[in-house]
Amino acid sequence: MANTTVASGLPPLPAYEIRPMPDLLPFISDFWLSLVVTHVAYWILSMFFHIIDVYDLFPQYRLHTPDEIAQRNLASRYEVARDVVVQQVIQTGMSAFLSATDPRQTTGMEDYDVAVWATRIRLAQRALPAVLGTLGLNATAISKNMATSYPLLAGALAGGHYPFLTTTLDDVTGTAVPAFATWELLVAKAIYWVIIPGFQLWLATCFLDTWQYFWHRAMHMNKWMYTNWHSRHHRLYVPYAYGALYNHPVEGFVLDTLGAGVAYKAAMLSPRGGLVFFVFSTIKTVDDHCGYALPWDPLQHITSNNAAYHDIHHQSWGIKTNFSQPFFTIWDRVLGTMWRGDTALKYERTRTAAAGKSVKKGETEKAAVNGNKVNGKANGKAKAK
C-alpha cells in the first residue's frame, strides 16, 4: 500500500502492529465493566434524587408533592426496587451476550486509519480545479498567485499539490516522499475520533427512540399488552428516579433491553462507544422519571424530552400522549401525539386532592387513636370496679 501511494504522488501510509486493547480501567476488565457500569450509574443517580426527595431539598422544583407520592402511587417502594433489580439481571444477561458477540478489541491501527482518511481528503482536493472551473474560475492561475503568501491554500486549489511537503521514508536511504499537510491530518483525526463516533452515537439514539416510541405506543393502544405488561409501569402516577425501570419483565426486555442492544448493533458502535451509549441512555431514563424540573440539570435541557415532558404521560389525563422516550420528541411531533395545552390547572387539582386525602387520613388516624384511648380508659375503670 505504501509503494502504491508513493507512486501515485500520495503520502505513504504508516506501518502498524495490531495488539490487544488494554482494559479501560486497571482494576476491572472491560467485560465485567460492561456488565455493571449501567447499574452503578442507575443507582448512583437514583440515590442522588432519592436524597433530594426524602429531605425535600428543592421543593420549589418538585413536579408533585410528597402527599401525591404517598396517596396516588399504587406500588410500594419495595415492589418498585424488586422489579428494577429483576430487570437489571436481564440486562446483565444481554450485556454478556453482546460482549460475547463483539469481535476482539485491538489497537495499533489508529495512525494508519487516520492516514487513510487523510489520503481521502487529498484525493478529494483533486476535484477542486474542475469544480472551480464550472464556476468560471481558473484554479491554476489563482493557485500561482497565492503560492507565496498562502502556500497551503494554493496547494489545495491546485488539486492537493504540495511539492514543498515531504518527509524521509527511512533513515537508511534518506528517500524523500510526499507528506500530509497539518490541516489534512487534523481534519482526518476529527473525522476518525469525533465525527464518525458521534454519528454512530446519534444513529443509535435515533434508532432507540424510534424503537421505543412505536413499542410504547403499541402497548397503550393494544389492550392486552397494556393490561398484561405496560400497566405495571403506570402504577406510578407520580414517578421517582429509581422507578424508571419499574416494568413487567417482558416489557422491560422488549422496550429497553432489546431495543438498546439492537440500536448498539445497528449503529455499529465499538464496545467503548457502547458503554457511553448504554450509560447515557440509563441516566437519561432515570432523569426523565426523577420528579423534578431542575433548572441546573443539563440532562433536562439537551432536548425538550425531560422529566416534565414524560411526567405528563404518567398522568391519567395525559396517558395517551407523550410516548417519545428517552431522547427526542420527534415522533410525538410528527404523528400528533404530543400533549398540547396547559397543565398548570390539572396539576393543581391533583395536588389539592392529594392534600385533602392526606388531611382526611390524618384526622381518621387521630380519631382512631383518641377512640382507643377512650376505650382503654373505660376498660380500665370497668376493671377497677
Domain parsing of the chain, residue ranges? 2-17+26-108+187-335, 110-186
Residue 168 is inside which H or E element, if any? Answer: strand 166-168
| Residue environment code for 341-361, b if the CB has 16+ CB neighbours within 10 A, otherwise e | eeeeeebeebeeebeeebeee
> Are 57 and 291 contacting, i.e. CB atoms less than 8 angstroms apart?
no
pLDDT of 121: 97
The residues near 325 (Cβ < 8 Å, ≥ 6 apart) are: 209, 212, 213, 216, 285, 288, 305, 310
Question: Which residue in this structure is represented by grid cell 437514583?
Answer: 46
Rounded-to-integer distance, Cα 75 and Cα 84, Å: 12
Average pLDDT along the chain, 385 residues, taken 10 residues at a time: 62 94 95 97 98 94 93 95 97 96 94 97 94 91 90 92 85 79 96 98 98 98 97 96 97 97 97 97 97 95 94 96 97 97 92 80 58 56 55
Amino acid letter, residue 372: N
Rounded-to-integer distance, Cα 3 and Cα 6, Å: 5
CA angle 246, 247, 251 (to 5 degrees): 155
Sign of CA dihedral 297, 333, 330, 249: positive
pLDDT of 11: 93
pLDDT of 367: 55
What are the pLDDT digits (tens) for 146-174?
A: 888 999 999 999 999 999 999 887 666 66
Comparing C-alpha atoms, which of 259, 264, 266, 265 is closest to residue 285?
A: 259
The DSSP-derived string for 208-254 is HHHHHHHHHHHHHHSHHHHHHTGGGGGG-SS--GGGTT---HHHIII
Rounded-to-integer distance, Cα 124 and Cα 130, Å: 11
What are the pLDDT digits (tens) for 256-269?
A: 999 999 999 999 99
Comparing C-alpha atoms, which of 147, 148, 130 is closest to residue 139?
A: 130
